[in-house]
C-alpha cells in the first residue's frame, strides 16, 4: 500500500507537469509566472562585480528512494553579508513573501522584496534539461549560477517541500560561506553542502501528516486555506509527524565556475556558452548561417536562439558570441528576444575581433598582476613606516616610564645633584630609593643616561642595584659620547633588521607567486578533466538511438546500463513522460517504477496503446488508470 501511494504521488506530479497544471489554485505562480532577478545591485553593478566569482549551484531531488517521495517547488536565492536575509529563527515571518514560498511554492513576492532591499537575489524555477519553468520531480535538478564577491560572501536559498503545509529546505540564517575570512573564494570544486541544510517550519499554517493533508499544496482548494499555526515563528520542524532526513530528499552541490582574476577567463566563458548552446538546441536542428563577404549579414533572432548558438551556426564555434555582442552594442549578452535584428560581422572581421579581445584580456591580466605587486610593495613600505613610528613611540614611552619611576621612588627636592669630576669617573655609593634613572637625572640632568651608567659598570641586570653598591659615574662628556654611540648602534641594528625583513618579504612574494601559478595550473587541469567528463556524458547521450516499435503488438526490450523508464520512453515514443505506460505494462518487473536493472526484459506497448493509456490517465487520474489497467 505504501509503495502504491508513493507511485501515485510521482504520477500525479508528472501528469500535472505535462499538462501545465500547477499544484496551487488559480493565480499561484509556480510554473510560468515567476520572474527572474538577474541582479539587484543597481547602477554600480559593473564596479561591484569586478571581484566576482561565479558559482554553479545544483539542487537535485533524490526523494524517490525515501519514505516521502515529493516534488520541490521553485525557490529563491540571495547573496548577503549580514545574517538572516530570509528569516530569523524563533521570530515570526516578516511578511516579505516567505509564507507564499513555504505554503504555495510562489517565490516571486520574496524575490521582489529582496530586490527592493538592494540585495543580489533571484529565483530558480526551471529544471535542468527543461525548456519551461516547473516543479522539481524526483530525479530532476535545478541549476543556477550566482556571481558573488567578498562583500557578499554568503549564499542562502529556500525551496518548498511540496508534500507539506508550510515546510521548506534552507541553510540557517548565516547561509553557506562562499569566501573565507581573507576574501578568497572557498574550495568549492563540486562541494556537497547538503549537510548544511535544515527542514524549516515557516510557522504560518498548522502542520498535517506529510503527503496526505487536505490543506497541503497538491490537495488544497485555494491558496492560504489551512488553519494558522499556534507557534507562529520560523523554526526547525518539530511536531508529531515523521520526516526523512534532508540528505534523503535533496543533494546540493556548489562548484566554482569562473574566477575574476583568471587571465583565461574569456576562454572559459566561451566554453561555458558553448555547452549551454549545445544543451539548448541540437546542432542537427540548426542550419548554418551563410555570411556575406563584403559586409555585415543581417539576422533575425528566432525561438531558442542564444548568441552562442548563432555564433556556432555562423562561424562554426560558439566562442564568437562576444564578437556578436560587441558588434551590436548589446547591454546584456545573455538577453536577446525573438524578433531582435542583429548584424553579424564577416568571418574575417570576427576572427580579427576575437584576436583583439584575447590580446586585451591577456594585457589586462598582466596589468592586474603588476598593479597587485605594486600595491603589495606600497603596503610593505607603509608597514615599515608604521613599525618605525611604533619603535619611536616605544622608546619615548620607555623614557617616560623611567622618568615616572624615578619621580615616584624619590622626591627630587630631597635629593641633591651629584657633582661629577671632569678628569675621570666619579665614585658613587647607592643609597635607599636609588635607581639608575634617578642617579642619571641627578648626575647628568636626564634619566635617559641610565644605560650609560649600566654599561660603564658592566651590570648584569640594569633594573637591580642594592644599597651600598659602588658605582663609577663617567664624566659628562663621556656619558654624552657613549649615548651617541648607543643611538648609532641601535639605528644600525634597526636598519639591518629592516633590510632582513624586506629580503624575507621579497622571498615570500616570489614563493606566493609560484604558488599562485601552481594553483592556476591545477585549476586548468581540473577544468580539462571536467570538460572531458562532460564530453563523455554528451557522447553517451549521442549513442542512444531510437527504439523501433512493432505495430501489431508489444516490443521486447532488454534494459541496458544508464537506462531509466523515462529515457526508454523518450527513445521509443519521443516523449519521456510516457514512462508510466511502460511501468504499468510491466508490473511484474517494475514493482518500483524508479528501480530497473540491467538485463530486465520489458514489453513496450505499441505507440497507439501508450497514447491511449496516457489519454485515459489524463482524463481519469493516475490511480484509476492504474487500477483499470491492472484489472485488464
Residues 118, 205, single domain; the answer is yes
In this structure, is residue 521 part of a structural domain? no
Choice among 285-289, 541-545, 580-584 with the minimum mean pLDDT:
541-545
Choice among 18-22, 136-140, 167-171, 620-624 with the minimum mean pLDDT:
18-22
Determine the average pLDDT of the residues in 219-234: 85
In this structure, is residue 391 part of a structural domain? no
- Give 179's DSSP letter: B
In this structure, is residue 161 part of a structural domain? yes
d(CA 347, CA 279): 25
Residues 222, 318, single domain; the answer is no
Range of the structural domain that residue 102 is part of: 2-258
Per-residue pLDDT band for 503 (boundaries 50, 70, 90) equals confident
Q: Return contacts of 547-553, CB within 8 angstroms, 24+ apart.
A: 547/571, 547/572, 547/604, 549/573, 549/604, 549/606, 549/607, 550/606, 551/606, 552/606, 553/606
Q: Is the pLDDT of residue 190 over 70?
A: no
- Across 40-44, 242-246, 306-310, 367-371, which has the greatest mean pLDDT? 242-246
Choice among 70-79, 138-147, 278-287, 378-387 with the minimum mean pLDDT:
278-287
- Give 283's DSSP letter: G
Residues 245, 267, single domain; the answer is no
pLDDT at 406 (0 to 100): 61
Residues 477, 611, single domain; the answer is no
**Which residue carries 641633591 as its cell?**
416
Determine the average pLDDT of the residues in 8-16: 42
Residues 141, 265, single domain; the answer is no
Choice among 9-13, 535-539, 552-556 with the minimum mean pLDDT:
9-13
pLDDT at 3 (0 to 100): 38
CB of 546 closer than 8 Å to CB of 572 = yes
Helix (H) or strand (E) holding 121: strand 120-124
What is the DSSP secondary-structure string of 36-49? ------GGGHHHHT
| 3-class secondary structure, 256 | strand
In this structure, is residue 600 part of a structural domain? yes
Give the cell for residue 631. 484489472
**Predicted confidence (pLDDT) per residue in 428-461, tens digit:** 999 999 999 999 999 999 999 999 999 999 999 9
Q: Is the pLDDT of residue 13 over 50?
A: no
Residues 144, 196, single domain; the answer is yes
* Average pLDDT value for the chain: 83
pLDDT at 409 (0 to 100): 57
Residues 446, 470, single domain; the answer is yes
Question: Domain end: 326, 352, 385, which one?
Answer: 385
Residues 230, 304, single domain; the answer is no
Residues 152, 269, single domain; the answer is no
Per-residue pLDDT band for 276 (boundaries 50, 70, 90) equals low
φ/ψ region of 20 (left if φ > 0, alpha if ψ in -120 to 50, else beta) reads: left
Helices marked H in 180-331: 265-280, 307-315, 321-327
CATH code: domain of residue 78: 2.60.40.2130
In this structure, is residue 171 part of a structural domain? yes
Residues 427, 443, single domain; the answer is yes
Count of C-beta atoms within a 10 Å radius of residue 473: 24
pLDDT at 204 (0 to 100): 94
CB of 13 closer than 8 Å to CB of 31 = no
How many domains are contained in the chain?
4
pTM of the model: 0.41
Choice among 150-159, 347-356, 618-627 with the minimum mean pLDDT:
618-627
CA torsion angle for 224, 228, 233, 239 (degrees, to 10)?
Answer: -110
d(CA 418, CA 436): 13
Q: Is the pLDDT of residue 261 over 80?
A: no
Residue 178 vs residue 33, higher pLDDT: 178
Count of C-beta atoms within a 10 Å radius of residue 18: 16
What is the crossing angle of helices 347-409 and 307-315, to 10°? Answer: 130
CA torsion angle for 156, 162, 167, 168 (degrees, to 10)?
Answer: -10
pLDDT at 15 (0 to 100): 38
Per-residue pLDDT band for 260 (boundaries 50, 70, 90) equals low
- Give the per-residue SS3 of 549-602: CCCCCCEEEECCCCCCHHHHHHHHHCCHHHHHHHHHHCCCCCCCCCCCCCCCEE
CATH code: domain of residue 488: 3.10.350.10
d(CA 412, CA 169): 76
Question: Domain end: 202, 229, 258, which one?
Answer: 258
Per-residue pLDDT band for 632 (boundaries 50, 70, 90) equals low
Q: Is the pLDDT of residue 189 over 70?
A: no
Residues 360, 345, single domain; the answer is yes
Question: Domain end: 258, 275, 300, which one?
Answer: 258
Residue 498 vs residue 321, higher pLDDT: 321
CB of 124 closer than 8 Å to CB of 61 = no
Q: What percent of the chain has pLDDT over 70?
A: 80
Burial grade of 224 (CB within 10 A; 0-12, 13-18, 19 or more): middle
In this structure, is residue 290 part of a structural domain? yes
**Which residue carries 659615574 as its cell?**
473
In this structure, is residue 529 part of a structural domain? no
In this structure, is residue 540 part of a structural domain? no
Residues 363, 486, single domain; the answer is no
Give the cell for residue 52. 566576482
Residues contacting 408, CB < 8 A, separation 6+: none
Cα 568 from chain centroid (whole Å): 36
Helices marked H in 34-184: 45-48, 98-104, 108-116
d(CA 250, CA 236): 17
Amino acid at each position: 500500500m505504501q509503495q502504491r501511494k508513493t507511485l501515485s504521488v510521482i504520477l500525479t506530479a508528472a501528469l500535472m507537469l505535462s499538462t501545465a497544471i500547477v499544484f496551487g489554485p488559480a493565480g499561484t505562480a509556480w510554473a510560468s509566472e515567476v520572474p527572474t532577478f538577474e541582479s539587484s545591485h543597481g547602477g554600480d553593478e559593473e564596479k561591484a562585480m569586478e571581484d566576482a566569482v561565479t558559482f554553479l549551484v545544483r539542487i537535485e531531488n533524490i526523494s524517490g528512494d525515501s519514505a516521502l517521495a515529493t516534488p520541490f517547488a521553485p525557490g529563491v536565492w540571495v547573496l548577503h553579508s549580514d545574517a538572516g536575509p530570509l528569516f530569523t529563527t524563533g521570530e515570526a515571518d516578516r511578511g516579505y513573501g516567505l509564507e507564499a514560498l513555504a505554503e504555495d511554492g510562489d517565490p516571486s513576492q520574496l524575490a521582489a522584496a529582496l530586490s527592493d532591499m538592494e540585495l543580489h537575489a533571484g529565483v530558480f524555477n526551471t529544471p535542468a534539461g527543461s525548456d519551461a519553468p516547473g516543479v522539481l520531480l524526483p530525479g530532476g535538478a535545478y541549476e543556477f549560477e550566482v556571481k558573488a564577491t567578498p562583500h557578499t560572501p554568503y549564499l542562502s536559498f529556500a525551496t518548498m517541500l511540496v508534500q507539506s503545509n508550510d515546510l521548506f529546505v534552507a541553510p540557517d540564517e548565516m547561509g553557506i560561506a562562499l569566501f573565507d575570512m581573507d576574501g578568497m573564494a572557498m574550495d568549492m570544486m563540486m562541494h556537497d553542502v547538503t549537510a548544511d541544510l535544515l527542514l524549516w517550519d515557516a510557522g504560518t499554517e498548522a502542520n498535517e501528516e506529510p503527503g496526505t493533508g487536505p490543506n497541503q499544496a497538491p490537495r488544497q482548494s485555494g491558496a492560504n486555506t489551512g488553519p494558522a499555526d499556534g507557534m507562529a515563528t520560523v523554526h526547525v520542524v518539530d511536531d508529531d509527524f515523521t520526516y526523512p532526513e534532508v540528505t534523503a530528499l535533496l543533494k546540493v552541490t556548489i562548484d566554482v565556475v569562473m574566477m575574476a582574476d583568471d587571465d583565461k577567463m574569456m576562454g572559459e566563458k566561451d566554453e561555458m556558452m558553448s555547452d549551454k548552446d549545445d544543451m539548448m538546441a541540437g546542432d542537427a536542428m540548426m542550419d548554418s548561417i551563410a555570411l556575406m563577404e563584403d559586409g555585415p549579414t543581417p539576422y533575425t533572432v528566432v525561438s531558442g536562439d542564444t548568441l552562442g548558438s548563432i555564433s556556432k551556426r555562423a562561424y562554426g564555434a560558439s566562442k564568437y558570441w562576444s564578437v556578436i555582442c560587441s558588434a551590436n552594442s548589446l547591454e546584456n549578452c545573455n538577453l536577446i528576444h525573438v524578433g531582435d535584428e542583429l548584424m553579424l560581422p564577416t568571418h574575417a572581421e570576427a576572427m580579427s575581433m576575437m584576436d583583439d579581445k584575447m590580446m586585451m584580456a591577456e594585457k589586462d591580466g598582466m596589468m592586474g598582476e603588476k598593479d597587485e605587486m605594486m600595491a603589495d610593495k606600497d603596503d610593505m613600505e607603509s608597514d615599515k613606516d608604521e613599525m618605525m613610528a611604533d619603535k619611536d613611540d616605544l622608546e619615548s614611552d620607555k623614557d617616560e616610564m623611567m622618568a615616572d619611576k624615578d619621580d615616584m621612588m624619590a622626591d627630587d627636592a630631597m635629593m641633591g645633584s651629584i657633582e661629577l669630576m671632569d678628569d675621570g669617573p666619579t665614585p658613587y655609593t647607592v643609597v635607599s630609593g636609588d635607581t639608575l634613572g634617578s642617579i642619571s637625572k641627578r648626575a647628568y640632568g636626564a634619566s635617559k643616561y641610565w644605560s650609560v651608567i649600566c654599561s660603564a659598570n658592566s651590570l648584569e641586570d640594569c633594573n637591580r642595584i642594592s644599597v651600598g653598591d659602588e658605582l663609577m659615574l663617567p664624566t659628562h662628556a663621556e656619558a654624552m659620547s657613549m649615548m651617541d654611540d648607543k643611538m648609532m648602534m641601535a639605528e644600525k641594528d634597526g636598519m639591518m633588521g629592516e633590510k632582513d625583513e624586506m629580503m624575507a618579504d621579497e622571498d615570500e612574494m616570489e614563493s606566493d607567486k609560484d604558488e599562485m601559478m601552481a594553483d592556476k595550473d591545477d585549476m586548468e587541469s581540473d577544468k580539462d578533466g571536467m570538460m572531458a567528463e562532460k564530453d563523455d556524458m554528451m557522447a553517451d547521450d549521442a549513442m542512444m538511438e531510437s527504439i523501433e516499435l512493432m505495430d501489431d503488438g508489444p516490443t521486447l526490450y532488454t534494459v541496458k546500463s544508464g537506462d531509466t523508464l523515462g529515457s526508454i520512453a523518450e527513445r521509443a515514443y519521443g516523449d519521456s513522460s510516457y514512462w508510466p505506460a511502460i511501468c504499468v505494462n510491466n508490473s511484474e518487473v517494475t514493482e518500483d517504477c524508479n528501480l530497473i536493472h540491467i538485463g530486465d526484459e520489458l514489453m513496450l506497448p505499441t505507440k497507439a496503446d501508450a497514447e491511449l493509456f496516457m489519454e485515459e490517465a489524463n482524463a481519469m487520474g493516475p490511480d484509476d488508470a492504474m487500477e483499470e489497467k491492472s484489472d485488464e
